[in-house]
Amino acid sequence: MRFGTIEEGAGTTVVVQASPEDAAVMPYPDLDAMLAAPEAQWRSAATTALASGEVRPVASLSWLPPVRRPGKVLCVALNNSANPDRIMRGPSTPAMFVKPSSSLVGHGRPIVVKEAYGRVHPEPELAVVIGRGGTDIAVGDALAHVFGYTIINDLTSPTMRDADTFHYRAIHPDPESPDGIRYVDSWVSYPARYKGADTFGPLGPWVSTRDEIPDPHALRITCTHDGALVTDDNTANLRFSVAEVISFASEYLTLEPGDVIAMGTALQRSARGGAVQNVDLTRLGGVIEVSIEGIGTLSNPVERR
Amino acid sequence: MRFGTIEEGAGTTVVVQASPEDAAVMPYPDLDAMLAAPEAQWRSAATTALASGEVRPVASLSWLPPVRRPGKVLCVALNNSANPDRIMRGPSTPAMFVKPSSSLVGHGRPIVVKEAYGRVHPEPELAVVIGRGGTDIAVGDALAHVFGYTIINDLTSPTMRDADTFHYRAIHPDPESPDGIRYVDSWVSYPARYKGADTFGPLGPWVSTRDEIPDPHALRITCTHDGALVTDDNTANLRFSVAEVISFASEYLTLEPGDVIAMGTALQRSARGGAVQNVDLTRLGGVIEVSIEGIGTLSNPVERR
């Protein structure tokens, strides 16, 4: 099944896909609420909604992020094997940051970029929605914690990233003396602005439930700008798998139902050349689309302010 | 007034301080719910709760983070003037990261550290709880968006910080050619683990409403480890003020009621010497307390696993 969250009158509702053209209304305001209910309950509600025959055209829907206020949007950085030679030094485990829920927007909504942001580029990614929470989840059990798969455009401003990077002398304890300190030349960067600005997290439109995606590592993923192909990649190229990331993350951060994990940018360039970094939305505007096989297409126009 | 959130039977409730020894029960499960209600409503509920005379001893309370699931915990990095000479290159505006709500724990709850975390040290900080949300908030209006002030211990693992730092060749567009790229030697670090692990965000116990704290930049803030003073600082030493941080952050990230802003570490060392970096909780265990004048004391034992 495929679920999404839409505006409905003055409120919001979950919809379930009835056909490529039609969706039926579910009795939950958003996936956050649906995932707080037992699976048997929402599966039964979906069966009832689909059997009712009361559907509305998908083309008329006003989309919201399917999960509206996840506890966390955990994003894996540099998780592709396209350019391993680019990393001179880095961890041998998934490196992650958190995007705030206030950065999420639905399919069709504008990505707002301001002159002050400097360069802003898209990053097409597979996103996992957690159905069952947990801590210290084993790799072998990890996929059972997945509710489904969706699409995220992990917008990034390299200008703000550079601005919010410090080269500084970090305070380290002096191993020679219990109260002594020494300075260590360090670099540290902080992602709240460059990854978390408003509208920097288009998500959706549909979440395909786990059973619809037998292998999350065999999906073509493409990104287009104004219809021109920018990247053409496959989730087979992810360095750390969905199960490995869930397991590793849950050793440190308890996963909760509705949490979203962005699996890292599919950045293999299309035959045309170019890279996501060439698509400066602040300068170019336009429409960005990310498509993943078996899940759908996430399309957002850019609004320059 | 001062508010907190506690466990109550099988659920949770907001309490309002009636005296240093007693607290009255409010009709909201947590501050998240209370701050979704109009201010006139919760002020009236507090008056009723305090007038009822039905109180319970503060010493018997089982504390939770006052806001249990904020949309974001936005943390300002390196926001002190104690060591400006440490920064060789850095932004002239507040640099920020996001801690997930799953990292928050209440007063009295254990800070859990695991051998695999490496070094973990405390960071004593003033925290702001947003009452009224907003975007593009002017500096002069910013304090009117504050619900109150509380205490956060922004626990940090420098070992995981070093592990999750990349030295790599970032892809930049080539200014000479629209589809060309060039590589730029860069450093980037990702804070989800080292700042966001479970229990890395003790918060509370009380939130003092804005009217109780006429000047948030004149508060003594201390940190002790097993009773020994580690840092002795004052919020006067913050580089960017509460109003400046709220205004700057809201230009990029919409602030929502219940959002928490951690103002940066008060790291001025006590006369005894030592620094927060010397207090490796993974090795030392013990009890960490952070006290802020006019707000209270946040105390957490360390549990080593």
Whose tokens are 């983070």? That residue is: B65
Count of domains observed in chain B: 2
Q: Do B194 and B247 fall within a single domain? A: yes
A278 to B173: CB separation less than 8 angstroms, yes or no: yes
Of A14, A30, A64, the domain-final residue: A64
B98 to A192: CB separation less than 8 angstroms, yes or no: yes
Q: Do A284 and A149 fall within a single domain? A: yes
Q: Does B226 touch chain A (CB under 8 A)?
A: no
A166 to B251: CB separation less than 8 angstroms, yes or no: no
Q: Residue A98 belongs to a domain with what CATH number?
A: 3.90.850.10
A253 to B100: CB separation less than 8 angstroms, yes or no: yes
Tell me, what amino acid is at A10? A
Q: How far is CA B151 from CA A81, B129, B214, B287, in A?
A: 42, 10, 17, 16
Is pLDDT of A186 > 70? yes
Closest CA to A295 of A228, A195, A201, A222: A222
Which residue of chain A comes nearest to B255, CA vs CA? A102
Name the 3-class secondary structure at B121: strand
Q: Does A96 touch chain B (CB under 8 A)?
A: yes
Selecting from B87, B98, B275 the residue whose C-beta is nearest the C-beta of A100 gives: B98
A102 to B253: CB separation less than 8 angstroms, yes or no: yes
Q: Do B99 and B206 fall within a single domain? A: yes
Does a structural domain hold residue B102? yes
Of A27, A48, A64, the domain-final residue: A64
List chain B pLDDT tens, one digit each, 305 residues: 999 999 999 999 999 999 999 999 999 999 999 999 999 999 999 999 999 988 999 999 999 999 999 999 999 999 987 667 888 899 999 999 999 999 999 999 999 999 999 999 999 999 999 999 999 999 999 999 999 999 999 999 999 999 999 999 988 899 888 888 899 999 999 999 999 999 999 999 999 999 999 999 999 999 999 999 999 999 999 999 999 999 999 999 999 999 999 999 998 887 777 789 899 999 999 999 999 999 999 999 999 99
Q: Do A92 and A221 fall within a single domain? A: yes
Selecting from B119, B254, B267 the residue whose C-beta is nearest the C-beta of A102 gives: B254
Contacts of A171 (CB under 8 A, 6+ apart): A181, A182, A183, B83, B86, B267, B275, B277
- CB contacts under 8 A, A 103-162 vs B, are 103, 116, 119, 135, 158, 161-162
B197 to A252: CB separation less than 8 angstroms, yes or no: yes
Q: Do A157 and A175 fall within a single domain? A: yes
DSSP symbol at B270: P
A78 to B191: CB separation less than 8 angstroms, yes or no: no
A253 to B88: CB separation less than 8 angstroms, yes or no: no
Q: Do A251 and A187 fall within a single domain? A: yes
Q: Do A59 and A100 fall within a single domain? A: no
Q: Domain limits at A46?
A: 1-64
Of A40, A64, A88, the domain-final residue: A64
Question: What does the DSSP assignment read for chain A?
Answer: -EEEEEEETTEEEEEEESSSSEEEE-SSSSHHHHHHS-HHHHHHHHHHHHHT--EEEGGG--EE-SSSS-S-EEEEES-BSS-GGGEEE--SS-EEEEE-GGGEE-TT--EEE-GGG---B--EEEEEEESS-BSS--GGGGGGGEEEEEEEE--B-HHHHHHTEEEEEEEEE-TT-TT-EEEEEEEEE--HHHHHSTT-EEB-S-EEEGGG-S-TTS-EEEEEETTEEEEEEEGGGBSS-HHHHHHHHHHHS-B-TT-EEE-----PBPTT---GGG--HHHH--EEEEEETTTEEEEEEEEE-
Tokens standing for B197? 């692990």
Q: Do A110 and A24 fall within a single domain? A: no
DSSP symbol at B80: B
Q: Do B81 and B51 fall within a single domain? A: no
pLDDT of residue B82: 62
Residue B30 dihedral angles phi and psi, to the nearest 5°: -160, 170
Q: Do B4 and B152 fall within a single domain? A: no
pLDDT of residue A82: 62
A296-304 and A111-113 as β-strands: parallel, antiparallel, unpaired? parallel
Does a structural domain hold residue B183? no
- Residues of chain A contacting residue B96, judged by C-beta atoms under 8 Å apart: 164, 190, 192-193
B196 to A165: CB separation less than 8 angstroms, yes or no: no
Does a structural domain hold residue B169? no
Q: Do B78 and B157 fall within a single domain? A: yes
pLDDT of residue A269: 82
Q: Does B184 touch chain A (CB under 8 A)?
A: no
Q: What is the pLDDT of residues A200-211, one digit of tens each?
A: 999 999 999 999
Q: Do A91 and A12 fall within a single domain? A: no
Cis peptide, bond prior to residue B205, ω within 30 of zero: yes
Per-residue confidence at A258, pLDDT binned at 50, 70, 90?
very high
d(CA A142, CA A125): 19
Tokens standing for A116? 């002050």
B151 and B295 Cβ atoms separated by less than 8 Å: yes
Selecting from A103, A192, A277 the residue whose C-beta is nearest the C-beta of B181 gives: A277
